[in-house]
Structure 1
Amino acid sequence: MITQKKGEWMELMIPAIWTGLTIQKLLQEVWQAPKGLLHQWRMDKGVKLQNESVPWNTEFQEGQKLQLHLFRHEEYGVEPEFLSIEPIFEDEHLLIVNKPFAMDTHPNQPGQGGTLANGVAFHWQVHGLSTKVRHIHRLDRDTTGGVVFAKHALSGAILDRMLAAREIKRTYHAFVQGLPKQKKGTIHEPIGRDRHHPTRRRVSDRGDHAITHYKVIETFPKHDLSLLELQLETGRTHQIRVHLSHIGHPIVGDSLYGGQTRRFDRQALHAGRIELVHPFTREALSVDIPWPSDLKILHASLI
């Protein structure tokens, strides 16, 4: 399905599979638009079919043109700031950015600057887009890799729901200490807060359900290190870091969870691929996120 941005409106041609579907069902059941957005569209006639406002119980016919007032003027929610950010994928609905290390995903307190969200706001400002900066997920300050942002309210709602349903697949790469005996495995251990440390988490019987899958990609016996590929079924704070430390293979450089910093001074963890079905075009997206230079140097030093 092809969508087009026409000013503040999105246009798309009704596909054959939507024949007989009503506007109401598309918005409420297929896209599951938030109630506030539905109300807004009703009030300002923000949904049109063939350039006309029609009742929402109108059934679609293949080839008709649907128009939605999606791209409204909004405040960014953060101060635009020129930062060196690296967009990897972008269209009118979403943006995937390669977050560098030593950068928060979003402000953690009022007035905080220098975050990825500040950089995204500036990127959008330069390209004439005025919309709230909506991050769909986040990464730890010193973890690098792909972060998804929604470019309008409906995209944000759909992507949030996809994330909750585990329909956004994120693949991580981590350099860890030791040589795992199993080439692949699953860590199924609950994670809770560490009462003795304000930010650290730990495996705890009373913690939240957490599952991490791992696969050994490469080993470096001379250095007693390995490169793992990891995928999450849950999204707990510090999940990969806690789970790998728990099985005796802490991430290189992760001092909070027992990783040695002699070779690397931050956790050697990178979100290297994002896969999802596009919320509007239904295209299967698989976006690879390049390693930062320090990870490339680390890898070269081990070969």
Structure 2
Amino acid sequence: MEKNKLIFRVKGNEEGMKLRAYLKDVQKLSSRLIKGAALDGRISVNNNRVKLNYIIKLDDEIAFDVEKKESQNIEPEKIDIDVVYEDSDLIVVNKQPGIVVHPTKSYPNGTLANGLLYYFKEKGEQCIVRLVSRLDMDTSGLIIIAKNQFAHMSLARDMHKEDFEKSYLAVVHGNLKEKEGIINLPIYRTDDGSIRRVVDERGQESITCYSVQESFNKGDLIKLTLKTGRTHQIRVHMTHIGHPLYGDTLYGQIEDKEYIERQALHAYRLVFPHPRTREMLELEIGLPKDLQELIEKIKN
């Protein structure tokens, strides 16, 4: 397997298809990806460049080059990157709290994307930052970045499937009566210019599964798995049922600075199919120091 190429071998039941249809319908590549690669001359059959209307034959070897020269208007910066998993298609990092994932007007530099571009440059890899998942500035934990357009397309598509698991650990105020359950309440963004979301019947379907991992005197450590990916979903749902996250000043409206300086939310587990091999990747990262210290404080 060449790291920069996808290699496909035509089977008997696929013979006679046009190359474009084969790549789209059999290999599940997006039309945009196929068109761009064809224009760049990055698709070949038996080492010969062909057009997308080429009729494929039994045992044809189709090579699809996923590497292309790209650039981003982001300044590379030397920032510590905690790499949890990496290969030629993707990288998963453990984001620290207080770091924005991508430059904005308010945070033009010092972001995870700035650090990743520096990291790629140092390794001699011509990658841009393609975020597959995102985390709020003050949420820590695992985040997926694709290294090429093919991996990004594949991972973004798979994110909405059942076998793609995103799980979090959170420390909340109070003790939940039900030790596990499903919160299925729509989340809506009001148009008052605020980033705040609310539970409202006008909103999008939002499903959060939870289970209490440990109970303490002043709160619970809970595991949450998202079935949908709405902005601030966990924070909105937990506040709505009366158990806001420690440190969540936007939704909790409780002064928690003596306990923790940010919302007590950590993306600790990812399970998803690898874009190229389709083998399941299972990645976990432990609780960061500030959440461990928070738990010690609320035990007594």
| Structure 2 length-normalised TM | 0.88
> What corresponds to 1:214 in structure 2?
210
Shift, 1:264, TM fit: 1.1
How far apart, in 1, do the equivalents of 2:26 and 2:95 lie? 32
Query: Aligned residue pairs: how many?
Result: 292
Q: CA deviation at 1:4?
A: 2.5
Measured at CA, do residues 260 and 29 of structure 1 come closer, stay the same or move farther in structure 2, by a change above 3 Å? Answer: farther
Aligned to 1:131: 127
How far apart are residue 208 of structure 1 and its match?
Answer: 1.8
Task: Please tell me whether the aligned partners of residues 24 and 57 of structure 1 are also in contact (alpha carbons under 8 angstroms).
Answer: no
Corresponding residue SS for 1:257: coil
Equivalence map 1:101-116=2 (5 Å): 101-109=97-105, 112-116=108-112
Asked if structure 1 preserves the Cα contact closer than 8 Å seen for 2:169 and 2:265, the reply is yes
Q: Is there any run of 5+ residues in structure 1 with no aligned partner, and where?
A: none
Following TM superposition, where does structure 1 have runs of at least 4 consecutive aligned residues deviating by more than 6 angstroms? none
- Aligned residue identity for 2:279: E
- Distance between the aligned counterparts of 1:92 and 1:138, measured in 2? 21
Instruction: Give me the whole-angstrom Cα distance separating, in 1, the residues matched to 2:139 and 2:171.
Output: 12
| CA 294–114 in structure 1, closer or farther in 2 if over 3 Å, else same | same
Equivalent of 1:58 in 41, 51, 56: 56
**Distance in 1 (alpha carbons) for counterparts of 2:181 and 2:134:** 25
CA contact (8 A) 1:76 1:130 kept: no
Per the alignment, residue 285 of structure 1 pairs with 281
Taking the aligned partners of 1:110 and 1:248, their CA distance within structure 2 comes to: 32
Deviations 1:204-225 (A, max 9, x none): 12222211110011111x2x21
* 1:93 shift after superposition: 0.8
Q: Secondary structure at the match of 1:4?
A: coil
Q: How much does 1:69 deviate?
A: 1.7
**Fraction of identical pairs, as percent:** 35
RMSD of aligned C-alpha atoms? 2.4
- Say whether 1:248 aligns with 2:246: no
Q: Distance in 2 between matches of 1:237 and 1:124?
A: 29
CA distance in 2, matches of 1:214, 1:295: 18
What is the CA–CA distance in structure 2 between the aligned matches of 1:26 and 1:291, rounded to whole Å?
A: 45
How far did residue 25 of structure 1 move?
A: 4.1
Partner of 1:192: 188
- 1:256-296 deviation digits (Å, cap 9, x = unpaired): 11244131121000011111111110111111123322123
1:76 touches 1:131 (CA, 8 Å); kept in 2? Answer: no
Contact 1:188 1:210 in 2 (8 A): yes
- Call closer, same or farther: CA 1:28–1:244 in 2, change over 3 Å: same
Alignment-derived partner of residue 234 in structure 1: 228
Instruction: Give me the whole-angstrom Cα distance separating, in 2, the residues matched to 1:291 and 1:249.
Output: 20
Partner of residue 147 from structure 2, selected from 119, 126, 151: 151
| 1:1-303 map, 5 Å | 3-5=1-3, 9-12=4-7, 14=9, 20-21=13-14, 23-54=19-50, 56-61=54-59, 66-109=62-105, 112-165=108-161, 167-194=163-190, 198-220=194-216, 222=217, 224-258=218-252, 259-261=254-256, 262-302=258-298
Q: Report if aligned partners of 1:188, 1:212 keep a CA contact under 8 Å in 2.
A: yes
Normalised by the size of structure 1, how large is the TM-score?
A: 0.87
CA deviation after TM superposition for structure 1 residue 130, in Å: 1.5
- In 1, Cα distance between the equivalents of 2:282 and 2:169? 16
